[in-house]
Structure 1
Amino acid sequence: MLKRNSINVLFLVSILLVLRLTMFPESSLGIGEGKGGINLVPFYTMRDLLFHHSFSDFILNNIGNIILFLPFGFFLAMRFRKIDNLPKSFLVGMFFSVLIEIVQLFMPNRWTDIDDVLLNTLGTGIGYSLFKTLNYIKEV
């Protein structure tokens, strides 16, 4: 029971971390408030950051969005046995990310971006795969 409660707490913490960093950004973490807007063109922001900003901005945005959702995917796999394959984890991660982006539409100075959904979904899948791989190695 204690192990189950610990898993629940870790999963909740991963969700709260994502919400904290996406809804209440801090410029000290490299997640600043912008002018606000929406981008529905896949890979537009990634290209813009790569070709019109510093390479560190490109890396921070892309890797940051992936890493942000890694714990969510990891604890998702640990917590929910019915999410038993990568496509299901992608769907849950995408759903969570889309919800965040929809909320950001109505927040001042927040940017809603399809690229964030793509990167967050990838992060969820990587976190899920990491858990499954470590679990497999442990069983072998």
Structure 2
Amino acid sequence: MTEISFAAAELLFALVWIICRAVVSAKKRKFDVKREGVLLLMYVNLAVILRFTFFPMETVNGKIQPLLFDSSEVFPLRVNLVPFMNITDYENRRDMLLNIIGNITMFIPSGIVLPIIYKRLDNFLKVFAAGAMLSLCIEILQLPFSTRASDIDDLILNTSGVVIGYGIYALVRGLKNRKKRPSHAVSAR
């Protein structure tokens, strides 16, 4: 059995992020502080998603428990493809609501930041597809870990969070565009 600590996973994620950003900046021979700031928001959002989608919610003595990999426990895969079948399997209503609200909330920033970072994600369907793909990648990456399960509910809830985030982005963008439009003067007779 292999244990992957949260600190090790976050450190690896940070190193990969820094190397990728350095390569892109060197390739472009340009460093845009504003863009890197927005990308940093995406990094923080992805780090939070990494924490809550791969590592157990429960802590022991205030410490996040490690992600466990045991090759003998990979199969059978723990996958639920029936929507909303497991959503009520929680011991109490509080845990169920925490799961639903948490899965939605942690993806809201992705729906806001993705269209800012990637200008090609300029409409609802594109952001919806990008959010669904991000969530699907996470569900697939969870497959080999015996302490995790891939669930269609998570895909639905995560994608809903991205959609809500995009709605917030579109609303703010619409309000900004409305303020920029010149008001039409009343014509004199």
TM-score (norm 2): 0.64
Task: Between the two structures, name the one with larger relative contact order (CA 8 Å, sep ≥ 6).
Answer: 1
Unaligned runs of 5+ in 1: none
Which of the residues 38, 63, 74 maps onto 2:79? 38
What letter matches 2:92 in structure 1?
A: S
Query: Is 1:98–1:117's contact at 8 Å kept on the other side of the alignment?
Result: yes
Residue 100 of structure 1: CA displacement?
Answer: 0.8
- CA displacement 1:29-75 (0-9 Å, x = unmatched): xx998xx83211111122444xxx42212211111100010111111
Unaligned runs of 5+ in 2: 1-31, 68-76, 179-189
Residue 108 of structure 1: CA displacement?
Answer: 2.0
Which residue in 2 is equivalent to 1:74?
Answer: 112
Which of the residues 66, 89, 98 maps onto 1:60? 98
Residue 122 of structure 1: CA displacement?
Answer: 0.6
Which residue in 2 is equivalent to 1:14?
Answer: 45
- CA displacement 1:118-137 (0-9 Å, x = unmatched): 00001011111111111211
Query: Is 1:94–1:117's contact at 8 Å kept on the other side of the alignment?
Result: yes
Which of the residues 162, 166, 170 maps onto 1:124? 162
More helix by share: 1
Which of the residues 138, 141, 157 maps onto 1:103? 141
TM-score (norm 1): 0.85
Residue 8 of structure 1: CA displacement?
Answer: 1.4
Q: Distance in 2 between matches of 1:118 and 1:39?
A: 12
Query: Is 1:74–1:130's contact at 8 Å kept on the other side of the alignment?
Result: yes
Residue aligned with 2:137, SS? helix
Which residue in 2 is equivalent to 1:25?
Answer: 56
Q: Distance in 1 between matches of 2:93 and 2:88?
A: 11
Residue 113 of structure 1: CA displacement?
Answer: 0.6
* Greater C-alpha radius of gyration: 2
Q: Distance in 2 between matches of 1:58 and 1:68?
A: 16
Residue 24 of structure 1: CA displacement?
Answer: 2.1
Equivalent pairs: percent with the same residue?
A: 38
**Dislocated runs of 4+, deviation >3 Å:** none
